Amino acid sequence: MSEKQPFWKTTALEDMTQQQWESLCDGCGLCCLNKLEDEDTGEVHYTRAACKYLDIGACRCKDYENRTDNVADCVDLTPSRMRRLHWLPETCAYRLVAEERDLAWWHPLVSGDPESVHQAGVSVRGRVVSEEGVEDLEDYLIQWAKPGGPIHRRPRKRYAED
């Protein structure tokens, strides 16, 4: 008897229901960070200044339904755009599925726990500031959220000493 495969392994992005599509978001908040693009190289650099609509503790948009109206350059992630968004981090489930790769162990769809993305240190929780009051984004450049950056590893189990 074979196990049923999860929907992200069997369903093309374009064929997913709205509920399936939305559930791919792991709640990391990385896509809500302000980014700077080098005009000469096209390289994208992340900052630790998050969109003012990001709830930094929950790592969710405070006004998700109206996000593209509230923020002129907010990118509405859609299946047709996924293969062109080179700035998404390697850990992004939308990117992983578009590249026909599996979700990480800490993704809430795999772990069954919406806190696992934060516990694994993949999210922006506790690591960013709101863009409000930020004058020069270059002062807020970071390295830990680079597209194609390292995949976070499962922490080693710690055993009590006998």
Asked if residue 2 has pLDDT above 70, the reply is no
Strands, E assignment, the chain = 33-37, 44-50, 54-55, 60-61, 129-130
Q: Nearest-CA neighbor of 103 among 87, 120, 86?
A: 120
The domain ranges of the chain are: 14-140
- The mean predicted confidence, pLDDT, of the chain is 87
Contacts of 110 (CB under 8 A, 6+ apart): 103, 104
Distance CA 91, CA 123 (A): 10
Confidence band for 87, pLDDT divided at 50, 70 and 90: confident
Asked if residue 60 has pLDDT above 50, the reply is yes
> What is the tens place of the pLDDT at every residue in 89-115?
889 999 999 999 999 999 999 999 999
Task: Note the pLDDT of residue 145.
Answer: 67
Task: Note the pLDDT of residue 85.
Answer: 86
Distance CA 95, CA 146 (A): 14
Strands, E assignment, 38-162 = 44-50, 54-55, 60-61, 129-130
